[in-house]
Amino acid sequence: MKCPACHHNNPNDAVFCMKCGKKLQKECIHCGAELPENALFCIKCGKKLTSSGLLVVMCSSPEFAQSALDEIRGWVSENGLTLHPDKTHIGDCMVPGKGFDFLGYRFEAGKRWVRKKSMKALRGRIRNKTRRTCGNSLQQIIEDLNPMLIGWFGYFKHASPYTFKSVDGFIRRRLRAILRKQQKRPGMGQCRADNKRWPNAFFATQGLFTMTEAHALARQSRC
């Protein structure tokens, strides 16, 4: 799949460009399914995909926010358009529980998070690539994982650092479970002995892309 922004050739199942981090898929506004960027109809619900815009207006007070929303509603109505009823609201992104989702991120309590739906989708793709019965070597699995992880990190690198620590730990637990399975040992690779047998450094030497380290390097480059 070629990135429309930087023209980098990505794997066909890529969701984010490995080079520039641009999102390569879009969501159906009717059912939320992830679709190729050039899709005209949703492969899940079958509805036609119409072009839509995303808009966030930052205001200094609730009164200004309500005034801005009223003005936008008027302009939208005059031009024969409508606002999405579930995605149009006023909230304070500095207050816990009153944030908003935008382009895969969750803005809440003054921080940027990966929204739950985006995180669930990532974990699902990781599970598909790290099944204990896949029969592939650790090196093959890592080579299959890395392009997806690099692209995902390129897009979500501005999220809270805790996000990357959580994803890295989830991946290593899955890989330890595979190694146990290959040694014909029961269990899910979550015991202390497995952490000693295959520490984090072991997977780094095998070439596994680590988001925590990539985030630390990205922060250093901005200093």
| pLDDT tens readout for residues 95-136 | 888 888 888 899 998 899 999 989 999 999 999 999 988 889
Q: What is the pTM of this model?
A: 0.73
121 to each of 39, 118, 133, how far by Cα in Å? 19, 5, 21
How far apart, in whole angstroms, are the C-alpha atoms of residue 160 and residue 153? 12
What pLDDT score was predicted for residue 67?
94
Strand order in the sheet with 111-114: 100-102, 105-108, 111-114
Distance separating alpha carbons of residues 146 and 158, to the nearest angstrom: 19
Q: Is the per-residue pLDDT at 74 higher than 60?
A: yes
Task: Mention every residue, 6+ apart, whose C-beta is less than 8 A from residue 46.
Answer: none
Q: Give the pLDDT band (50/70/90) at residue 70.
A: very high
Q: Which amino acid is at 125?
A: R
Most confident of 15-24, 57-66, 138-147: 138-147
Spatial distance between the Cα atoms of 14 and 146, rounded to a whole number of angstroms:
11
Alpha carbon distance 200, 203 (integer Å): 6
37: Cα separation from own chain's centroid: 16
Query: What is the per-residue pLDDT for 20?
Result: 73
The yes-or-no verdict on residue 48 having pLDDT over 70 is no
- Cα 94 from Cα 53, distance rounded (Å): 24
Q: At what angle do helices 138-156 and 161-182 cross, to 10 degrees?
A: 170
Q: How far is it, in rounded angstroms, from Cα 223 to Cα 220?
A: 5
Q: How confident is the model at residue 51 (pLDDT cuts 50, 70, 90)?
A: low
Q: Which two tokens stand for residue 62?
A: 């609730």
pLDDT in tens, 159-202: 999 999 999 999 999 999 999 988 888 766 677 888 899 999 99
Q: What are the tokens at 28?
A: 């159906």
Q: How confident is the model at residue 145 (pLDDT cuts 50, 70, 90)?
A: very high
Closest among 213, 211, 219, 212 to 152, alpha carbons compared = 211
pLDDT computed for residue 13 by the predictor: 65
Q: What pLDDT, on the 0 to 100 scale, is given for residue 218? A: 82
Please give the full DSSP string across 8-47, using - where no structure is assigned. Answer: -B--TT-SB-TTT--B-EEE-TTT--EEETT-SB-TTT-P
Average pLDDT over residues 29-57: 69
Which range has the worst mean pLDDT, 5-14, 147-156, 175-184, 211-220?
A: 5-14
pLDDT attached to residue 104: 87
pLDDT tens, residue by residue, 11-41:
766 777 776 777 776 666 667 677 666 666 7
* Residue ranges per structural domain of the chain: 1-54, 62-102, 116-222
Give the pair of three-digit tokens for residue 59.
């205001």
